[in-house]
Chains A and B, each alone.
Chain A
Amino acid sequence: MSDPQTLADGALREILESQRQGAPAVVLRSPPGAGKTGVAQRVALQSARALEQRCMVVTQTNEQAFDVARRLGGNAEGFPIHLYTRRGLELPADIRGHRNIRIIENFADIPQQPGITIGNAAKWSWINTGETMFDLQIVDEAFQLPDYRFQLIANLAPHHVLIGDPGQIEPFVDCEIERWRCNPAGPQVSSPAALLKRHPGVMQLALPVSRRLNTDTVRLV
């Protein structure tokens, strides 16, 4: 049996390779503490720097967007990262003052050249165009994103990497959903589950190592 580091590196290589091969979508299952955000960070940097793509990162909340921005902003090459936020949003001081993080509030200011732009799902869904704007879309904590919200942002890029913890509770939808309850690809279902139901051929990968859970628990999750 390989050591945990070798297993983790192997999984990461596979994910990076899938992007080289231009996989239309990858669902990456990751138990808590397995390094989801680290993977998102590496996939985004490979996309923007090595593949010269325009990469968008989708988070579920502003707080998650700040966290991803902090991690990506600290990249070794000083590569600028864009954070797409709503006007008037109070930003943490370290984000506001970060030398590698550029804040953008307008759709027109989203860079046209290869780069990484981070925003939450709600903000992305208000982009006023039906056109493709990016090459790659990375959805962090994708199991928290209901499929109808994913649909509203999915055509912003032709390639998707959906990263998340499948053990999380289903996305919270605050209305009656009986009409779709029996539909495994219904609008209330988590975006990776619905995508796999519609397209069973979508590549699926899993991170094998968790720094928080033991092996038995990871297998169960």
Chain B
Amino acid sequence: MADLLAVVARMRALEKGEAVPIVSQSQVIIQPHARIVTMLSMAGEDTSVHAVAIGRQGVAPQIKVAPDPRRRDDQYELLLWLLPQFEDYYAWCRAEGTFPQIWVSSDGALGHLDTLADRLRFTEDTQVKRLGELWTYAGERSPIAGQQALISATTALRAHYATGQQDTEDEHLGALLTWIDPPAGRDILAAVAMAETQPMGAKTDPSFDAAELQPAVALFNKARQDGDVRAEAFHAGRIQQMLETVIRPIYAATQRAMAILDRPRWKANAALDILGRQEAAHFARFMQNRDAGYRLPYNDSAKAAAFKIVARERAVDNVEAASIRHDRAARERGAESGRVLRGTIVGRDKVKLAPYTFETRMVLSTPQESLHLRAGEEIWNLDDPKLCLRVTGIERRGPFSWVSGIVEKGKKAALLLNIGDVVDLGPHDPDWDASIREFAQMSTRLAVPPWTHSEVMPPPVPSTRPRPNDLLAAVERMV
């Protein structure tokens, strides 16, 4: 049903010819010091950086181009130009007790940076390796729910707006921005088609590559081969100009996305404060581990993978719990999907079980068609974290579901509620410390690695117990 809300919003956007806001609160932290990083790879060389633009919100970019990134020296020169910018930025964030944030244009650009981070941290050059390690912080965090370290502008915008096109089409930042701020008096689809002619990811246009860039790179290489320094500088300058025409609009579009998301129309979201504190703590641990010499492997061991996947699962739970509690739109989606029980109180009794022992019971009715609830589950009042109800029964009668339960916590708070009041009940407050407890438990459990997840399978050890003539018959007598 949550998808239904998305479909309705898209239909509305298509009808209006303009993106529609789908939330009222901010969905992403924008660090005032966040770095905008726009990189272009060379066609067919996905792990190269042909050009990079780096800067901040409201600041013009610094641009560096490697005329031919297939030459290692040219590529390393560009990367080593970048290193101090990240080293200094990370050091500053660490000193300030905050976390660095990198903005890229789209998920494609995010994937490019992540791939580069993985590749660079296994190079032999210690400085290039260091850049890879620093980028790995952002890359490793990017798939984790609620992370604020590496932000794709398209993903951030899509969390705030619905457009009248498909999700994948929203991945073009120019098209997405056109939906959000459509040009007056023009057909939206024509305007979007025009916007899409400008590259917005990590790659240049193939026709531009073939007609302009590749010949220029070939001439540059020939001049270098011939030892013609003037021609070499001339062609390097041409390549720089060509790539600047591509990279500057991407950088500017990312800045524009940030400006849109920084508008005062987006109300504060307390869930983001929690996520910000979590991100800062993650960053502090990451830097401590780098200082301590821990290296990040390319492939995870079974044990490391177990820790990582559990961390991701807990992050999903906690982000959902925080959003449902603090974000109106998330709560509405929860009510639509049945993750949140939105019920009217139809019964509330204080039952005497024994002298001085009472139990408070409640019954709620709801027209919600799909409820993700089962007996034994504990649900919490999302507007009063003191009140917890343990579900004892769920019954569907006609168009309504009746949910009965026992108040486990907040008996006084329960008695303040009246018959007819509507309450939202859902998951517990996010419990970030639960991950720490679970990791401690996992460390205990995995102190001795099981053979099943190690290299060597042990040999069979036959039983010395007497063997009956017919194994099956012997067992059947026990069943």
Interface residues of A (CB under 8 A from B): 9, 12-13, 16-17, 19-25, 41-42, 45-46, 49-52, 75-77, 79, 89-90, 125-132, 146-148, 150-155, 158, 160, 173-180, 183, 185-188, 195, 198-199, 201-202
On whether the beta carbons of B452 and A174 are closer than 8 Å, the reply is no
Given contacts A25-B452, A152-B306, contact A129 B316 (CB under 8 A): no
Given contacts A42-B475, A174-B313, A187-B309, contact A128 B441 (CB under 8 A): yes
Neighbouring A residues of B478 by C-beta, 8 Å: 45-46, 49-50, 75-77, 79
A51 to B41, CA, bound (A): 64
Given contacts A151-B450, A152-B306, contact A125 B472 (CB under 8 A): no
Neighbouring B residues of A51 by C-beta, 8 Å: 463, 465
17 A/B residue pairs, CB under 8 Å, sorted by A: A21-B462, A24-B458, A25-B452, A25-B457, A45-B475, A46-B471, A51-B463, A51-B465, A148-B302, A152-B445, A152-B446, A153-B445, A154-B450, A155-B445, A174-B313, A175-B313, A177-B309
Closest 4 CB pairs between A and B?
A154-B450, A130-B447, A175-B312, A155-B450
B267 CB-CB contact with A under 8 Å: no
Minimal Cβ-Cβ distance residue in B for A180: B305
- B129-148 CB mask vs A (1 if < 8 Å, else 0) is 00000000000000111000
On whether the beta carbons of B479 and A202 are closer than 8 Å, the reply is no
Neighbouring A residues of B457 by C-beta, 8 Å: 24-25, 199, 201-202
Neighbouring A residues of B299 by C-beta, 8 Å: 183
Distance (whole angstroms) from the CB of A53 to the closest CB of chain B: 8
Neighbouring B residues of A52 by C-beta, 8 Å: 465
On whether the beta carbons of A129 and B444 are closer than 8 Å, the reply is yes
Given contacts A22-B461, A128-B441, 11 further A-B contacts (CB under 8 A): A24-B457, A25-B457, A45-B475, A50-B474, A125-B445, A146-B309, A151-B446, A151-B453, A155-B446, A155-B449, A198-B453
Minimal Cβ-Cβ distance residue in A for B310: A148
Choose from A76, A153, A187 the contact partner of B477 (Cβ within 8 Å).
Answer: A76
On whether the beta carbons of A130 and B448 are closer than 8 Å, the reply is yes
- B144-176 CB mask vs A (1 if < 8 Å, else 0) is 110000000000000000000000000000000
On whether the beta carbons of A130 and B309 are closer than 8 Å, the reply is no
A127 to B459, CA, bound (A): 27
Neighbouring B residues of A151 by C-beta, 8 Å: 302-303, 306, 446, 450, 452-453
Neighbouring A residues of B475 by C-beta, 8 Å: 16, 42, 45-46, 50
A17 to B472, CA, bound (A): 9
Neighbouring B residues of A148 by C-beta, 8 Å: 302, 305-306, 309-310
Interface residues of B (CB under 8 A from A): 143-145, 299-300, 302-303, 305-306, 308-310, 312-313, 315-317, 375-376, 441-442, 444-453, 457-463, 465, 467-468, 471-472, 474-479
Neighbouring A residues of B376 by C-beta, 8 Å: 89-90
Distance (whole angstroms) from the CB of A149 to the closest CB of chain B: 8
A49 to B476, CA, bound (A): 12
On whether the beta carbons of B472 and A13 are closer than 8 Å, the reply is yes
A150 to B460, CA, bound (A): 21
On whether the beta carbons of B472 and A9 are closer than 8 Å, the reply is yes
On whether the beta carbons of B479 and A13 are closer than 8 Å, the reply is no
A126 to B308, CA, bound (A): 18
Neighbouring A residues of B459 by C-beta, 8 Å: 24
A84 to B166, CA, bound (A): 49
Neighbouring B residues of A90 by C-beta, 8 Å: 375-376
On whether the beta carbons of A160 and B452 are closer than 8 Å, the reply is yes
Distance (whole angstroms) from the CB of A152 to the closest CB of chain B: 5
Distance (whole angstroms) from the CB of B163 to the closest CB of chain A: 24
A187 to B461, CA, bound (A): 29
On whether the beta carbons of A20 and B471 are closer than 8 Å, the reply is yes
Distance (whole angstroms) from the CB of A64 to the closest CB of chain B: 15
| Residue among A12, A45, A132, A179 with most chain B CB within 10 A | A179
Choose from B308, B444, B458, B479 the contact partner of A42 (Cβ within 8 Å).
Answer: B479
Neighbouring A residues of B306 by C-beta, 8 Å: 148, 151-152, 187
Neighbouring B residues of A20 by C-beta, 8 Å: 462-463, 467, 471
Given contacts A49-B478, A79-B478, contact A154 B309 (CB under 8 A): no
A150 to B302, CA, bound (A): 11
Neighbouring B residues of A89 by C-beta, 8 Å: 376
A201 to B460, CA, bound (A): 12
A199 to B451, CA, bound (A): 10
On whether the beta carbons of A76 and B441 are closer than 8 Å, the reply is no
A21 to B451, CA, bound (A): 18
Distance (whole angstroms) from the CB of A109 to the closest CB of chain B: 19
Minimal Cβ-Cβ distance residue in B for A126: B441
Minimal Cβ-Cβ distance residue in A for B299: A183
A44 to B458, CA, bound (A): 21
Neighbouring A residues of B462 by C-beta, 8 Å: 20-22
A125 to B445, CA, bound (A): 7
Neighbouring A residues of B144 by C-beta, 8 Å: 176
Neighbouring B residues of A175 by C-beta, 8 Å: 145, 309, 312-313, 315-316
A52 to B145, CA, bound (A): 48
A23 to B459, CA, bound (A): 8
Choose from A21, A130, A176 the contact partner of B445 (Cβ within 8 Å).
Answer: A130
A114 to B195, CA, bound (A): 73
A150 to B472, CA, bound (A): 29
Distance (whole angstroms) from the CB of A40 to the closest CB of chain B: 12
Neighbouring B residues of A198 by C-beta, 8 Å: 302, 452-453
Minimal Cβ-Cβ distance residue in B for A20: B463
